[in-house]
Structure 1
Amino acid sequence: MKNLYLVLFLFITITIFSQNILKGKISNKENVPLEGVNIYFDGTTISTISDSKGNFTIQYEPNANNILVISFMGYQTEYLTGLDVAKPLNIAMTVSQNELKEVVININELFTRAQKLKLFREYFLGKTNNAKGTIIQNESDLRFKFDKEKFVFSAYSDKPLTIINAALGYKIDFELVVFEVAFNKQSINSKDVIKNFYGGVSRFEDINNSAEVLERREKTYQGSQIQFFRNFAKKDWGIKKFILLNDDNSVDPLKRFKIIEEEDFVKVEILTQPKGEIKNENLNDIVASYNIAFNRTEESKITFQTDSFYIYKYGNNSNIESILFSGKISEKKVGDMLPLNYGIK
């Protein structure tokens, strides 16, 4: 079986009917206003900070389905959903207990920290040209663990990772929630990887928007996972875009998926794949599995372990843990990650 890579993004439904300005105030438990608190929508460039009185305003997009993140050094991060623009937020932050994760190495130090960092960079940042120029400024905050019974490598950080992507002109603050790489034996060699996923919340800051960088961003967007799901929702398939394949034979997506357009999202129902088309798969509960090609050349594979999911305005979607990619799309990790609101006007 080909290695399968799953990028897990945190999400939860926020019902939004029109573009709005959200207002709020942030304080501590003693009702003292907190200045300089970071407020942002996960995975986007939409952010602000609280003023000297703890007040803030932030714009959010209709139907975007993003988490509002409230982050401040020394306090527990808040993740807010179910927002109502008619009701200003009043947030009382809780002081962090600063309980560092106890990370125990169970493999008798068979692997050096340099080896672990190399593995983390490969499966978090990626190995593309964009990823090669991307650096994590605070790698010393990373802690690692290897489960010698399950052959699972994990990474943790009690502080947000500060990532500088010079190729795409972004500074990214990434709060790592989960990172795991599963192997078929006691190893941290890429050839022994069977599955990996990572997840967290991120804030993008534009640090370079030169013509060269903008061109590189657009090239990165082409064939990306975000573009795939945006096109999917619009039923926008084509030989110079994405095409759906069974082996090397093209199939009609409209006969394999039912697209239901709702006011705030698009619902996708995955029709059961004909018998005999799913071959050599060892995963359980597969509903359908197809090859996909972008612009005739970039080949990937998508496997659905769910019979339905939702696509929101930015191309973010539900049930992402049940939608697995391998091939070209899976190679694009954080080093090729664009803000979810990229190209949205």
Structure 2
Amino acid sequence: MKNLYLFLFLFSSVTIFSQNILKGKIVGKDNIPLQGVNIYFDGTTFSTVSDANGDYSIRYEPKANSVLVVSFMGYEREYLSGLDSTKPLNIKMTVSKNQLKEVVINKKELFTRAQKLKLFREYFLGQTKNAKSTVIYNEDDIQFKYDKKKLMFTAFSDKPLVIMNSSLGYKINYELVGFEITFDKVSISSKDVINNFYQGVSRFEEINNSSEILERREKAFQGSQVQFFRTLANKDWGSDKFLLFNDSNNLDPNVRFRINKEDDLVKVTILPQPKEEVKNEENISDVVASYKVMFNNSESSKIVFLTDNFSIYKYGNNSNINDILFLGKIAEKKVGDLLPLNYRM
């Protein structure tokens, strides 16, 4: 009887574990198995590569809502979500059409490449201590465009950016999907920037985990956007954490947000904010609510909601990233202070 119990326990353990492993095969042209394909969940340390038979397996957190990225030179990048780990996920990749963006060399360029790189680093990596020790190994692959009519500066790369963050002990492969900076006049100076945006998918590889590095990671996490959303989801507000404000008045988050938990998914409803409280100093359209947030009684920021509802997933990522804007201290942390979504989880 003891042996039977042991067998049942082991069987149960294997079954539970297998539900968190995603497996499959990757093939390319003529159904030939592809070896060395990069498979990873966006923004995490969960990654793998396919073997000589095209087979792969990767840890999977179903309720984290992370996007599975499949990337291989010469083939179109795949983005997959809504996965079912109980079935093999076999992928046939599509040969890339080699639509490399053409760089038009204009002798009358308004600004030098050095000026453009400086601006890109400032708004992509940031200007914190961690950012200043972060290096992009393949900056030559970054291409820039300045649209004088639209007063818009854009950056793109056909190859993933290889980023070494020695301060936080991570190597990051960042596939830049979009990068835009808008000015209020023809300029390359940050003082004339009125809007900035960047987006991409990232894969983290830990290269150092010394005690000093771990301390820096924790400091980078404190007061970050991910911590804010975890605070909101868990109602974990406090004077040594985040507080919600309107001007100088401390607000009760429970009468500003409705939180409904469904396992690892949290649905957030932004409750109506009195009109007299809404101060749209940045002239942002479609504002639903706007609040000041204070972290640890010292770091002041502002959060602007352009939606009245959204979802927060297991890691602290959310469903409406483009509809929730941050300004102030919290917005200073960019890729140079970026941690894996599964940090602390």
Identify the residue that residue 3 of structure 2 maps to in structure 1: none
SS at match of 2:100: coil
Q: Give the C-alpha shift of residue 98 in structure 1.
A: 2.0
The farther-off stretch of 112-121 and 69-78 is: 69-78
Identify the residue that residue 68 of structure 1 maps to in structure 2: 68
Q: Does 1:28 align with 2:28?
A: yes
Identify the residue that residue 6 of structure 1 maps to in structure 2: none
- State the one-letter code of the partner of 1:337: L
> Equivalents in 1 of 2:105, 2:156: separation in Å?
13
Contact 2:38 2:48 in 1 (8 A): yes
Pair 111,231 (structure 1): closer, same or farther in 2 beyond 3 Å:
same
Contact 2:62 2:83 in 1 (8 A): no
Q: Does 1:49 align with 2:49?
A: yes
Identify the residue that residue 102 of structure 1 maps to in structure 2: 102
SS at match of 2:32: coil
Pair 248,142 (structure 1): closer, same or farther in 2 beyond 3 Å:
same
CA deviations 1:106-155 (Å, max 9, x no partner) are 89311000000000000000000000000000000000011111111000
- State the one-letter code of the partner of 1:135: V
Pair 163,276 (structure 1): closer, same or farther in 2 beyond 3 Å:
same
SS at match of 2:124: helix
4+ residue segments displaced more than 6 Å: none
Contact 1:105 1:145 in 2 (8 A): no
Q: Give the C-alpha shift of residue 103 in structure 1.
A: 4.0
Pair 302,248 (structure 1): closer, same or farther in 2 beyond 3 Å:
same
- State the one-letter code of the partner of 1:174: Y
Identify the residue that residue 89 of structure 2 maps to in structure 1: 89
TM-score, reference length from structure 2: 0.92
Identify unmatched segments of 5+ residues in structure 1.
Answer: 1-17
> Equivalents in 2 of 1:234, 1:109: separation in Å?
51
> Equivalents in 2 of 1:272, 1:265: separation in Å?
23
- State the one-letter code of the partner of 2:21: I
CA deviations 1:45-100 (Å, max 9, x no partner) are 00011111000111112410011011111211111112111220111112222221
Cα-Cα RMSD: 1.4
CA deviations 1:250-273 (Å, max 9, x no partner) are 000000111111234101100121
Identify the residue that residue 245 of structure 1 maps to in structure 2: 245
Identify the residue that residue 325 of structure 2 maps to in structure 1: 324
Contact 1:19 1:59 in 2 (8 A): no
SS at match of 2:303: strand
> Equivalents in 2 of 1:81, 1:276: separation in Å?
41
> Equivalents in 2 of 1:202, 1:181: separation in Å?
21
Q: Give the C-alpha shift of residue 283 in structure 1.
A: 1.3
TM-score, reference length from structure 1: 0.92
Identify the residue that residue 231 of structure 1 maps to in structure 2: 231
Identify the residue that residue 136 of structure 1 maps to in structure 2: 136
- State the one-letter code of the partner of 1:148: K
- State the one-letter code of the partner of 1:93: M
SS at match of 1:89: coil
> Equivalents in 2 of 1:125, 1:190: separation in Å?
14
Contact 1:123 1:333 in 2 (8 A): yes
- State the one-letter code of the partner of 1:29: K
Q: Give the C-alpha shift of residue 215 in structure 1.
A: 0.8
Contact 1:105 1:144 in 2 (8 A): no
Identify the residue that residue 153 of structure 1 maps to in structure 2: 153
Identify the residue that residue 288 of structure 2 maps to in structure 1: 287
- State the one-letter code of the partner of 1:154: T
Largest Rg, 1 or 2 = 2
CA deviations 1:135-182 (Å, max 9, x no partner) are 000000000011111111000000000000000000000000000011
SS at match of 1:63: helix
Contact 1:135 1:164 in 2 (8 A): yes
Identity %: 69
Identify the residue that residue 257 of structure 1 maps to in structure 2: 257
Paired residues for 1:177-188 under 5 Å: 177-188=177-188
> Equivalents in 2 of 1:265, 1:298: separation in Å?
28
Higher helix share: 2
Q: Paired residues, what number? A: 327
Identify unmatched segments of 5+ residues in structure 2.
Answer: 1-17
Contact 1:107 1:146 in 2 (8 A): no
SS at match of 1:167: coil
- State the one-letter code of the partner of 1:151: L
Contact 2:19 2:86 in 1 (8 A): no
